[in-house]
Amino acid sequence: MDLEVTVEQAKQLLATTPAPLLLDVREPWEFNTAHIEGATLIPMNEIPGRAHQELDEEAPILVLCHHGARSLSVANWLRNQGFDKAQSISGGIDAWTRRIDPTVPLY
């Protein structure tokens, strides 16, 4: 399983049943500015303290941030913690808006 997926792949994965968890690791102000419906917000700095209590190690997780750097770091960290199905969405919500859903605001 690749560590990164494109926004197009993420869209396809989110349409499956059961859908993977869409984990948004941006700050609350960023999430409030622009987010994908159904995403779960856990800011990057809170992941170490919340991951094992709130995330399922067996479930697929798509990690999202603004441009893809934070999500890649978090997905890599999650994999090192036993979340083998964690993947980062390359390009982040910026790429999502530009290529998938232009109704999600750019910032």
Find, among 87, 80, 72, 74, the residue nearest to 20 by Cα: 87
Q: Which of 5, 34, 65, 86 is catalytic?
A: 65
Q: Where does the chain show beta strands of DSSP type E?
A: 4-5, 21-24, 40-41, 61-64, 86-89
53 annotated active-site: no
Instruction: Report yes or no: 63 and 81 within 8 Å, Cβ to Cβ.
Output: no
User: Kind and range of the H or E element at 22?
Assistant: strand 21-24
Would you please indicate which residues are annotated as catalytic (active-site) residues?
Answer: 65
